[in-house]
Structure 1
């Protein structure tokens, strides 16, 4: 029985194809019971790799069944057919994803970014309080509903955190997610705290929201790591960001895992609180930099400058990245994904050198309000 017939028997009228990968695809469908459109993720067990079937898929199904938060994509139904196909019926992000939104409209104004980032952070706090980590936070996985509210999706890399006998979280050892959003400790293959990894990815997302570009040039992972470990964060002067916003991003993009913010600290930060923003927007003066701009932002001689940060349509690759649950990969295996991600957003590398100012904010980094 084909997918349309299977879905019809369950009360869904299949619509258009939303994305397709090597062993999973996503279709739109109209639910006769719910009376609105949904997204249906269809996974073919016969085509999926063993590690996905034994580890990632069971985790994803378990976690999706337990989540219930207004800023997380709702899961309405999960069922499997005798021929080995799994159907996950989910809330549809009718306005697309945040990456497409920013590519179309440019960087968000801080008030809009604050609202969306607060929604996302609330969803992450909900997950972390349940000891669930996402581990693949990126703009492609943030869907937008009809009112452009954030809906966190794609829990294919998520897991329940394990604790030792003393109650401490056990470190994770596997690289997963997209290199452009991955924390330095993950890229280096160091055992990492998965909740702390999520926080770094939140920092990258907020930077993209307000700057419309990537915080780091990820076309060369070794160079990117060096800049990250020196705690360098360059902000485009042209965006005129407030000091509070830069301060929050800088503290999330903290290479020292013991000093990186926790989710509760993010939600209580003065920039996230709409009525209590305390830092002066002049905390970082225009054009002022604590260090010189790092020369590694310059493209390699003879390289295609467009490949660094220029927005280009990547329909087939983007559909697979958004909708297919992928097995975990080692950093050295991620070169194709890194190259693709580095082309998704922002200014050219030359513009980033010419138009950037560097953190840290002059407000002491350890002060929280």
Structure 2
């Protein structure tokens, strides 16, 4: 069974430099220490002593610039710590390593609770620096004039986005529907800066305008109507200087769950339980408000530095029930990533989208534990592992190796979630009512159940609206 991303791991393996042992470094250091100084160095020093004019100039420069003749700090090298000379970069790296060691990624406390310490991703602005000066890092006189003209024409759009949320800079995510950048907003009266995630919707090549606007409005209307601790907070929808529509969201510095799984090689059991509990709470909220995500996967689950999980990317989301309706609408067709798609979505028949989200939650949970996909796709005729799973379910036991890592209580719950028959599959609400789930140590829980709900008819969903959105589907269509 393949790991979650063999290409990414192969790339990391190729980038790793060969490891040099400490004995090899010690031998190199001893050889260097015992090796005599070359004769040309001695001649150079002797020659320098005979040039009085050079000495006078050097003395004058020392008086004018005291730091000009100071010996430079040795460059960072692998044997610097062995020889006793430690560079500034090494000291900084050692300090960072000490801090990261003192703060483990997941810590269980004596009180029975736990804390998450997720290191924020390092981002760089060098690419954006060249972008500001043109595509190739330079501008001619004509290009500068053209840029000034474009800036004047699009001043209002620039002020609406950059003025309100800062200029989008570093790219932190890419997908089929656009890219995500970080916007840095500085306030004169507030120290530091506030960060926002800005998703730039790109119009595909030869994509009809009507389809582009439907995709854009669908995602924004759904996400902006939802307010839950485990759902990403969507703030605004604006146009940038290039005319692209940008969705402004809260920024999660802990990265996505996929990157955490890959870098750690699998999460600890209690750590995975916490993230799973937050995911189920978020999915339950979506289903209660008539929304199905339909593309749940670790890449679409963002994390804050203290371990709060946020469901994001509603590009494939759909409203299966409006606020005034009692009967849910059925869906048809498969969308999302194949390893997380439920088997009923591949049949071509109509199905309830809610069990599809629940199925994906179970696959994600197993991915957190094993750092592997259970199967490539849930098709009996195409995937051997899934075929074995179906046969084992008929006999009432899971014989696949990944399931053997689970305790009896966890295996019982996951078997109900990854149930091939959607009519027998457990719901998100039933999961939260299970005794095993109630005993999980879940941080970042929703405050109260169904508190201060009111109907938001923008997309026909019930949501806790903390702030009214500035745009709805009608106003967005009028902008084109």
- TM-score tier after normalising by the smaller chain length: 0.5 to 0.7
Work out the number of aligned pairs and report it: 276
Partner of 2:354: 195
Rg: which structure is higher? 2
Partners of 1:22 and 1:212 in 2: CA distance: 24
For residues 217-273 of structure 1, give each alpha carbon's deviation from its aligned partner in whole angstroms, at most 9, with x where no partner exists. Answer: 449873336445546555536974211111111111111111100111111223322
User: What is the distance in 2 between the residues matched to 1:53 and 1:253?
Assistant: 34
Give the secondary structure class of the aligned counterpart of 2:286. Answer: helix
Alignment pair present for 1:40 and 2:198 = yes
Q: 1:230 to 1:237 in 2, by over 3 A?
A: closer
Contact 1:41 1:88 in 2 (8 A): yes
Find the aligned partners of 1:131 and 1:64 in 2 and give their Cα distance: 12
SS at match of 2:236: strand
Q: Deviations over 1:10-37 (max 9, x none)?
A: 3403321123356622111112369421
TM-score (norm 1): 0.67
The Cα of 1:162 is off from its aligned counterpart by 3.7
The separation in 2 between residues aligned to 1:77 and 1:234, in whole angstroms, is 48
Relative to 1, partners in 2 of residues 1:166 and 1:67: Cα closer, same or farther, differing over 3 Å? closer
Within the candidate set 233, 257, 271, 2:436 is matched to 271
Shift of 1:46: 6.8
1:49 is aligned, of 173, 194, 207, to 207
Secondary structure, aligned partner of 2:259: helix
Partner of residue 462, structure 2: none
The aligned runs of 1:1-369 (5 Å cut-off) are 5=158, 7-21=161-175, 24-32=178-186, 35-45=193-203, 47=205, 49-50=207-208, 52-80=211-239, 84-162=243-321, 167-218=326-377, 222-224=381-383, 226-227=387-388, 229-230=390-391, 232=393, 233-236=398-401, 240-274=405-439
The 1:14/1:26 distance shift into structure 2, 3 A limit, reads same
Checking the alignment, whether the CA contact within 8 Å between 1:71 and 1:122 is kept in structure 2 is yes
Residues 48 and 247 from structure 1, CA distance in 2 versus in 1: closer, same or farther, beyond 3 angstroms? farther
Q: Select the structure that is richer in helix.
A: 2
Distance 2:358 2:219 in 1: 20
List alignment gaps of at least 5 residues for structure 1.
Answer: 277-369
Q: Distance in 2 between matches of 1:40 and 1:156?
A: 15
Of residues 13-22 and 170-179 in structure 1, the stretch that sits farther from structure 2 once superposed is: 13-22
User: 1:119/1:237 Cα in 2 relative to 1: closer, same or farther (>3 Å)?
Assistant: closer
Q: Which has the higher contact order (CA 8 A, sep 6+)?
A: 1
1:221 to 1:144, Cα distance in 2 relative to 1, 3 A: farther
Quote the RMSD (CA, aligned, Å): 3.1
